[in-house]
Copies of this chain bind each other. A is one copy, B any other.
């Protein structure tokens, strides 16, 4: 099998897997308890928090463990707007993940206005647009760091400083970016940042929210005193440990992976071009490493996905969380892919397990499928 859907989820790092094992079996004590049997778990959580903080330039006490990116996004947006009393405004973009878009719809239903900024052809949120829309009514700006479908990396530093100049909080959904491109929250100056472990070779069902010290955010899960008293629930020690190890390992090789993945991207694109396949590459080649979003002319992305599946190749059409719907994704619509290409959109997302052999095979099979499809259409037309 060639797994080329790493933006949907990624294989767990072996060291991360090994590191969490003791906390699933022997050291099963509840970290909230005061006897010595719980010490290993407590210590492991502390170490994991420190490791994660170091990976993104934060302080350990600024890392709050959650059940994943979705919870982090819900918490950041609702925790800073919904519970403030005043009906102040949120500004986001049209190409956010549904964890942000649907959360924004929820707060809208509650009376909190939301402005959705459009993006340019490459999927970039223009800082000038934010500057036009932001006002004293704005409470929060939430713009994703990198897009899950097309890999576009946003000018977060600039967007964030516009938010701060206007006295607003800035949150970034960095679920696709953490562990894949260098992130330093102190440089970005963001107030909140969401991450999800399974996107960087950690387990599914764990993530974190970075909350800058001094940021006023209401708890999202009320209950026990875990996570400095603002995120309740017995700690998932095993997954917290695995997440930290996975992130550390990814960050350690981040520059090397970046170069390798960009090399693989280029091979794939040049093979398809050599084969004279008619396609558009969405997003920018300067985007997330390994993210290759292509729109093929006059073919169906669904058909490509299933043909590749039969050949043991996993890729995606539209966004991962949206694959049950066959509609054209909101991101592809927002960047204005031409009508004869938009239905033929495929996301190939490479990860550290992929090789040159993989991308050559993907390019080769894609070429064969598209060529054979065109021939079939041609024969069909003759027969009619």
- 10 inter-chain pairs at a CB distance below 8 angstroms, sorted by A residue, are A32-B323, A34-B306, A67-B233, A68-B233, A74-B222, A203-B236, A204-B235, A205-B206, A223-B321, A224-B322
Given A25-B12, A103-B223, A204-B238 contact (CB < 8 Å): yes
In the assembled complex, which residues on chain B have CB atoms less than 8 Å from the CB atom of A234?
Answer: 9, 68-70, 196, 198, 204-205, 320-321
Cα-based distance from A168 to B316 in the complex (angstroms): 45
Give 6 new A-B contacts, CB below 8 A, not counting A74-B223, A98-B222, A234-B321. Answer: A9-B234, A10-B28, A69-B234, A74-B222, A205-B238, A232-B321
Question: In the complex, which residue of chain B has the Cβ closest to the Cβ of A321?
Answer: B224
Given A17-B25, A30-B9, A205-B206, A225-B70 contact (CB < 8 Å): no
In the assembled complex, which residues on chain B have CB atoms less than 8 Å from the CB atom of A314?
Answer: 29, 33, 35, 37
**Cβ of B321 and Cβ of A70 under 8 Å apart?**
no
In the assembled complex, which residues on chain B have CB atoms less than 8 Å from the CB atom of A70?
Answer: 221-224, 232-234
Query: Taking the complex as formed, is A364 at the interface, i.e. its CB lies under 8 A from any CB of chain B?
Result: no
Chain A residues proximal to chain B, CB less than 8 Å: 1, 3, 5, 8-12, 17, 24-25, 28-30, 32-37, 67-71, 73-74, 83, 97-99, 102-103, 105-106, 110, 196, 198, 203-206, 218-226, 232-239, 305-306, 308-309, 314-316, 320-325
In the assembled complex, which residues on chain B have CB atoms less than 8 Å from the CB atom of A205?
Answer: 67, 205-206, 233-236, 238-239
In the assembled complex, which residues on chain B have CB atoms less than 8 Å from the CB atom of A8?
Answer: 29-30, 32-33
Other-chain residue from B103, B218, B236, B309 in contact with A35 (beta carbon distance below 8 A): B309
Question: Interface SS of chain A: helix, strand, loop or mixed?
Answer: loop
Q: How far is the CB of A36 from chain B (nearest CB, A)?
A: 6
Cα-based distance from A67 to B102 in the complex (angstroms): 19
Cα-based distance from A9 to B28 in the complex (angstroms): 8
Q: How far is the CB of A171 from chain B (nearest CB, A)?
A: 15
Other-chain residue from B32, B99, B236 in contact with A320 (beta carbon distance below 8 A): B32
Cα-based distance from A12 to B103 in the complex (angstroms): 35
Other-chain residue from B73, B198, B305 in contact with A34 (beta carbon distance below 8 A): B305
Cα-based distance from A43 to B346 in the complex (angstroms): 25
In the assembled complex, which residues on chain B have CB atoms less than 8 Å from the CB atom of A232?
Answer: 70, 98-99, 102, 321
Q: How far is the CB of A180 from chain B (nearest CB, A)?
A: 17
